[in-house]
Amino acid sequence: MKTSEIRSRFIDFFAKHDHVDVPSASLLYNDPTLLFVNAGMVPFKPYFLGDEPAPYARAVSAQKCVRTLDIDEVGKTTRHGTFFQMLGNFSFGDYFKEGAIRFAWDLVTGKEQDGGLGFDPEKVWVTALYGDQETIDLWLKVGIPRERIQERGLKDNYWHMGVPGPGGPCSEIYIDRGPEFGADGGPEADEDRFLEIWNLVFQQEELSAVRAKDDFDVLRPLPHKNIDTGAGLERIALLKQGVANMYEIDEVYPVIAKAAELSGRRYGDDPTDDVRFRVVADHVRSSLMLMTDGVTPGNEARGYVLRRLLRRVIRAMRLLGVNDPVLLELLPVSRDLMRVSYPDIDANWPRVAEAAEAEEKSFRRTLQSGTVMFDTAVDAAKGEHATTLSGDKAFQLHDTYGFPIDLTMEMAAEQGLTVDRAQFDALMKEQKERARADAKAKKGGAASLEAYRELREAGEVPFLGYTDLDVNTTVRGIVADGAAVDRALDGTTVEIVLRETPFYAESGGQDADRGVIVGDGFNLNVIDVQRPVPGLVVHRVEVLGELPLGATVDARVDAAARHGASQAHTATHIVHAALRELVGPTATQAGSYNKPGYMRFDFSATHGLSEALKAEIEGRSNEAIAANYAVSAQEMPLEEAKALGAMAMFGEKYPPLVRMVELAGPWSRELCGGTHVGTTAEIGMLNLLSESSIGSGVRRVEALVAGDAFSKFAAERALVTALTDTLRVQPDQVVGRVERLIGQLKDAEKQIAKLNAEKLLAGSAQLVQQAVDVNGVRYLGVATPGVGGGELRTLAMDLRDRLGSEPAVVALVGGADKPAALVATNAAARDLGLKAGQLISLASAALGGKGGGKDDLAQGGGTDASAAPQAIAAVRSALETRG
């Protein structure tokens, strides 16, 4: 039974029992406590927590998940993977234990020809929380004998989210794989033989404090009991397909086969190689799914996880003997396997392939850079007659260059060295503990939403601002310092909730509206508008007078500011469409921000835009503005909007009914709740200010719109006028004239540098007299401002030769526009282990830069010319402390 068929059977079974089929959320779900969706229940958290009323009583989903805590263990065990798919059925105050158990039993043991999964009822074992007799009785009722029902403690059979919120006992379903997989005796005896496939969670309590998995405080029973289940699709697949582990199922194993083909090695021949094959299979699929959902390789958060996965693939293939590029050989295999269940992979493939290719090229360059550091560490170890490379060096290679430990160990073995793995592991553990502590602090730092939830339970706040900027309404709630109050006093800043509102709450990159709310005896200045929980609009206001709860008010949006924000927001859609038209469909949105007069737009790209392309994008955007396209918005079902090609933001959660904003038909269709102008001509004009990188694989364009754009153009025109007057040329001659002046200036600077160098060379004999003995080495460190390039190199070599055959080191710091440094060593100094390439790194670091080169001559530079004395002193300090 194929994995995709198991997925369909699960969804079809529950759909027939009145469950709404909820599509998988993006892996980049908008939850500040999570990097990625890590469980099937995550998209339903607002309903379990009571932040939002559930739009359905029953639901079923097949949710994409990624867990990253045990990346280093992937491939070593056969039960864990980075990416996996969680099947689940959910009840929100509808059926409870009996329904969940009956559904699960009927699906697990139902005959295949009837749509069931066809497991032998005699092979099914279950667990329950100690003392949960109700659950035990219900399993007995469906036909499981008591000896195949095991009771376990809180660590195994009680579920919560790790923070205050819903919790409850759970019951797990296991399948006996047979004696060849381990000892008899149920899950308590062996969880490799008895493989868990499904966990039924009976949410019935609200927890007030959570200290550990089995240490928490129960505040009260939940007002509505809920069901939350999770069945591992990959685990069910390995059982139904009769394979040994999840890496050998139909959606994963072909990647192993391709890796074996590329490497010329066979899966199953060598346990060490098998781990590498499994790492490749897991990480290729995980990377594909992450990139499909909009993640690009980077150095922070989600991007760093993806980068690590991709680099572990490259490393594993290298250890399997493949040094050629591999990602675009392996990823298409996974694409063809996963597209059956996730058709959006095809639409995003060009961007995925581009990002993967760029990352592989980057890592290959990184390997070259890291190898220099590795070689230096090896030389130092051998110089001390050591047989072990220190763990801190291995950790530095890992942390700075992304070198996996086993790659370092392999390279060290080639040099006849071992690695202090214990020290490396200790440093890694410290880093992980710091990361966990930071994550825990972040997780527990969220402000209480209790006051907002209570206000939300009273009903949704309708947003009338698409059509009305002045609304007569009443004050439904007042929140001060996180608590509901019945009045706000003069001079205070509070949050208020209105019965309905014309004020736009910050979202979708658009700034919140500003304005005033006035009533009898008070005036409220609106300084911010947010949606702390979906459906609830909260206005942060400064109070003048005294505001009572229930007061009648007139809510007035600042019309000019709203129009400015609408102009900028519509311009953002135009720039997005222009980028996709001129750069290509891979230029998908990665973020945006707009306010009156200004917009910025982040998009996926591995390369910057040329000046010509930036001008073309600006021109195309202004063409669209001048074309006076009608800007229309209409509500429709989410799937219908997607079918029309509407662009959606990765990670955003969209309701079943969405708002699609359209400009010029299919040219620009986006899901958007923001405010917009009626026609594009209302924007006036757009001035593209800049384009830059804000992280690996993500670029940003910034632009001014409307009056701000005109003012910028006017200022630039005034600047050109001033230049034409000063240079006495026509406007079209300014660039040529400035270029000639710059050329003349550079020629003059070169001539001055040459003269300075000649002057210094002429005085070399006197400079040599400044050399001092430092720990048995003649050291000459000189600042030579204005001298750079070849002249600095010639001077250093001349001074080194003049210092004779005794150990000698010369360090010069010069440069014109930016500081430049050069270090030269003679043969006698190099015999003492003094290498110019290592010494220049110290000097360059003092200058705020980097350097490198050979043992006899090396050069570098930096940004801080005033640090020349420190750079010279840094080289001297190295000589003083040499062993």
User: pLDDT band at 614, cuts 50/70/90?
Assistant: very high
Q: Summarize the confidence of residues 832-851 as an average pLDDT.
A: 90
Residues ≥6 apart with Cβ < 8 Å to 61: 11, 21, 22, 23, 24, 40, 43, 87, 88, 90
pLDDT at 78: 65
* 385 in a labelled binding site: no
Q: 460-557: which CATH number, 2.40.33.20, 3.40.50.1700, 3.20.20.70, 2.40.30.130?
A: 2.40.30.130
CA 338 to chain centre: 22
| Dist. CA 357–CA 350, nearest whole Å | 11
pLDDT of residue 445: 36
Residue 505 token pair:
């709450």
Cα 68 from Cα 439, distance rounded (Å): 13
H or E, element range at 301: helix 301-319
* Residue 413, φ and ψ in degrees, nearest 5: -60, -35
- In the prediction, which pLDDT does 760 show? 67
| 820 pLDDT more than 80 | yes
Q: What confidence tens digit (pLDDT) does each residue in 452-495 have? A: 878 887 888 999 999 999 999 999 999 998 888 999 999 999 99
Reported confidence tier of residue 393, pLDDT bands at 50, 70, 90: confident
CB proximity list for 206: less than 8 A, separation 6 or greater: 164, 165, 166, 167, 218, 219, 220, 221, 222
* Confidence band, pLDDT 50/70/90 cuts, at residue 442: very low
Name the residue among 568, 563, 573, 498 with its Cα closest to residue 529.
Answer: 498
Q: What is the pLDDT of residue 446?
A: 37
Tokens of 317: 């293939």
Mean pLDDT (whole number) for 625-641: 93
CB 139 within 8 A of CB 171: yes
Question: Among residues of the chain, what percentage have pLDDT more than 90?
Answer: 57
Report whether 839 contacts 858 (CB < 8 A): yes
On whether 539 is known to bind a ligand per the annotation, the reply is no
Task: Report the C-alpha gap between 778 and 804 in whole angstroms.
Answer: 9
Q: What is the mean pLDDT of the chain?
A: 89
By residue count, the chain amounts to 883
Fold adopted by 562-714: Threonyl-tRNA Synthetase; Chain A, domain 2 (3.30.980)
The CATH superfamily holding the domain 3-244 is Bira Bifunctional Protein; Domain 2 (3.30.930.10)
| pLDDT band at 443; cut points 50, 70, 90 | very low
Position 47 pLDDT exceeds 80: yes
Q: Which long-range contacts (CB under 8 A, 24 or more apart) does 362-368 make?
A: 362/297, 362/696, 363/310, 363/311, 363/314, 363/402, 364/314, 364/325, 366/401, 366/402, 367/401, 367/403
Q: How many whole angstroms separate alpha carbon 828 and alpha carbon 822?
A: 18
Residue 213 pLDDT > 70, yes or no? Answer: yes
Residue type, 89: N
Residue type at 139 in one-letter notation: W
pLDDT category, 606, cuts 50, 70, 90? confident
Answer yes or no: is 607 a known binding residue.
Answer: no
C-alpha dist (Å) from residue 157 to 75, 128, 429, 456, 850: 27, 6, 28, 33, 55
For residue 342, pLDDT over 90 is answered with yes
pLDDT at position 547, please? 94
pLDDT of residue 444: 37
State residue 650 phi and psi, 5-degree precision: -60, 135
| Strand 515-519 versus strand 552-557 pairing type | antiparallel
Region 61-75: mean pLDDT is 84
Q: Is 569 annotated as a binding residue?
A: yes
pLDDT value, residue 471: 96
| 732-757 burial: b if 16+ Cβ within 10 Å, else e | eebeebeeeeeeeeeeeeeeebeebb
pLDDT digits (tens, 9 = 90+) for 236-252: 999 999 998 899 999 99
Q: What per-residue confidence (pLDDT) applies to 737? A: 87
Query: By 3-state DSSP, what share of the chain in percent is helix, strand and coil, each rounded to 5?
Result: 45, 25, 30
419-430 confidence digits (pLDDT tens):
999 998 888 888
| C-alpha R_g of the chain | 33
Which of the pair, 400 or 242, is modelled with greater confidence?
Answer: 242
Partnered with residue 152 across adjacent β-strands are: 129
Listed in sequence order, the residues at least 6 apart from 93 whose beta carbon sits closer than 8 Å to its beta carbon are 54, 57, 224, 225, 226
Torsions phi, psi of 864, nearest 5?
-110, 95
In tens, the pLDDT along 657-667 reads 899 999 998 99
Q: Is the pLDDT of residue 401 over 70?
A: no
Which of 124, 107, 100 has its CA nearest to residue 12?
107
What is the β-pairing status of strands 194-212 and 165-176?
Answer: antiparallel
Q: Is the pLDDT of residue 441 over 60?
A: no
* Selection from 552, 534, 710, 695 nearest residue 622 by Cα: 710
* Out of 374-383, 461-470, 512-521, least confident range: 374-383
Tokens in use for 394? 């291995």
Quick one: pLDDT at residue 818? 84
Architecture of domain 766-880: Roll (3.10)
